Amino acid sequence: MSFLNPDSFFKPEFDDLEFTGISRIAVPNMGKPDLLPLWFGEGDAVTPEFIRRAAQQALDDGQTFYANARGIPALRDTLKTYLDRIYGLDINPDRLLVPGPTMITVAMAAQASLTRGDQALVVSPYWPNIERAIQITGAEVTSFAQEQRNGRWFLDVDGLIAAVTDRTRLIYVNSPCNPSGWVMTPEQQAQLLEFCRARNILLLADEVYHRLVFEGDVAPSFLSIARDDDPLIVVNGFSKSWAMTGWRLGWMVVPANRLEQFMVMAQCFTTGAPTFIQAGGIAALQDGEPLVRELREQYRTGRELVMQRLGGHPRIEVLRPEGAFYAFPRIKGLTDSLAFAQTLVEQENVGVAPGYTFGSGFDGHIRLSFAQSHSRLSSALDGLLHHLDKTA
């Protein structure tokens, strides 16, 4: 008599999943006293009262039942108004879906388009959970790296297009970029979208940092040039621009002729975002412009502090971020960013993310968030510089 190996119940892509470098550093060290954590993609500001009050009012009103998996009508209407206003559009409301966390929207796009044997072309450096969301489908992740040109991060779109193969089914671009701060230009977006139209390749555009740019009020968006039937999914969310990381609320803009299928997927993945959480999203979109401007200015100050403190150090090469709220410096002589991050948190109580986790070729980098209060950020930079000086 033979017995099944329990491991055979799970596909290889599941068994190959590993924690990101961020988790490997942060999880065992989060309980340290006096920790100065710059490893996560969030600030230290609590979600403002007007957003919390809207959610509390929805709870008091008894909004505790199932919601439409597509998102409640009031939020979808408010979202359309918001997108029309910031991009100068009249977006088709049949393209909007608010199923839950933005990461769920990425997973839905990957599950809808990829299978074993396919290739996903991902612009790097990238947030490591993106790689895992693709990996679980069985598709191969191939990265195409941004370059450093004239003191800025740069994407060679011609090179990206040349990297496409017959197996490429999806191209992923995050702009503004976590972790580099690179921002894609409208001309680059038009070139890439036109190529994806011609080749029928799904373009997955992650625009979650869309309001966190330091030139202008909003980053360029593929939505400004897209047609309803384009092979394009744009994902976005409330976490970054409205200080709502713990609310887990995001949206996606999908091809109009695939809305029904994505609604079914949303029913399977989340059965809809909680209604009272969506009420907070409505408040953010309707009344949150002063908050967006305030956060952006705080992050601008943080960026300048990072550039001032790190820019002149002989062991550090750091490019000025154009958007988001991260610096992604290269440390000269660094070959093991995970070991460096572990030693830094042990000796200086400063938490950073190791560069290797953001894609191949970035093990000499670290990522640090400057979305912290000025005093905490300054103290963390003190610790980082002290560590570099004593280990030179």
Place of tokens 């489908």: 137
**What gap in Å lies between CA 321 and CA 301, rounded to an integer?**
12
Q: Which of 283, 271, 286, 251 is nearest to 66 (CA)?
A: 271
Cβ atoms of 39 and 369 closer than 8 Å: yes
Q: What are the sequence ranges of the domains in the chain?
A: 6-47+290-390, 49-288
According to DSSP, the β-strands at 350-351 and 36-37 are parallel
Q: Is the pLDDT of residue 5 over 70?
A: no
Residue 6's pLDDT band (boundaries 50, 70, 90)? low
**What gap in Å lies between CA 104 and CA 98, rounded to an integer?**
10
**What gap in Å lies between CA 120 and CA 167, rounded to an integer?**
8
- Per-residue burial over 195-221, b = 16 or more CB atoms within 10 Å of its CB, e = otherwise: bbbeeebbbbbbbbbbbbbbeeebbbb
**What gap in Å lies between CA 110 and CA 169, rounded to an integer?**
10
3 by DSSP, 3-state: which?
Answer: coil
For the chain, percent helix, then strand, then coil, each to nearest 5?
A: 45, 15, 40
How is residue 119 written in tokens? Answer: 């290739």
Domain covering 6-47+290-390 in this structure, CATH number: 3.90.1150.10
Residue 1's pLDDT band (boundaries 50, 70, 90)? very low
Task: Report pLDDT digits (tens) over 36-94.
Answer: 999 999 989 999 999 999 999 999 999 999 999 999 999 999 999 999 999 999 999 98
Task: Report pLDDT digits (tens) over 96-146.
Answer: 999 999 999 999 999 999 999 999 999 999 999 999 999 999 999 999 999
| Residues in contact with 379: Cβ distance below 8 Å, sequence separation at least 6, in sequence order | 36
Phi-psi region of 117 (alpha: psi -120 to 50; beta: other; left: phi over 0): left
Q: Is the pLDDT of residue 2 over 80?
A: no
377 by DSSP, 3-state: which?
Answer: helix
Residue 392's pLDDT band (boundaries 50, 70, 90)? confident
Residue 391's pLDDT band (boundaries 50, 70, 90)? confident
Number of other residues whose CB lies within 10 A of the CB of residue 31: 7
Task: Report pLDDT digits (tens) over 157-197.
Answer: 999 999 999 999 999 999 999 999 999 999 999 999 999 99
The verdict on whether omega for the bond into residue 179 sits within 30 degrees of 0, i.e. cis, is yes
Q: Name the percent of the chain lying above pLDDT 70.
A: 98
Alpha helices, H only, the chain = 12-15, 21-26, 49-60, 73-87, 102-113, 128-135, 157-162, 186-199, 259-269, 275-287, 289-310, 337-348, 374-390
- What is the CATH topology of the domain spanning 49-288? Aspartate Aminotransferase; domain 2 (3.40.640)
Q: Is the pLDDT of residue 292 over 70?
A: yes
Task: Kindly state the DSSP code that residue 101 receives in the 8-state scheme.
Answer: -
Cβ atoms of 273 and 71 closer than 8 Å: yes
How is residue 58 written in tokens? Answer: 């929805």
**What gap in Å lies between CA 220 and CA 322, rounded to an integer?**
12
According to DSSP, the β-strands at 96-100 and 250-253 are antiparallel
21 by DSSP, 3-state: which?
Answer: helix
**What gap in Å lies between CA 33 and CA 295, rounded to an integer?**
27
Chain center to CA of 366: 17
Number of other residues whose CB lies within 10 A of the CB of residue 116: 11
164 forms beta bridges with none
Q: What is the mean pLDDT of residues 314-343?
A: 97
The verdict on whether omega for the bond into residue 48 sits within 30 degrees of 0, i.e. cis, is no
Residues found in the chain: 392
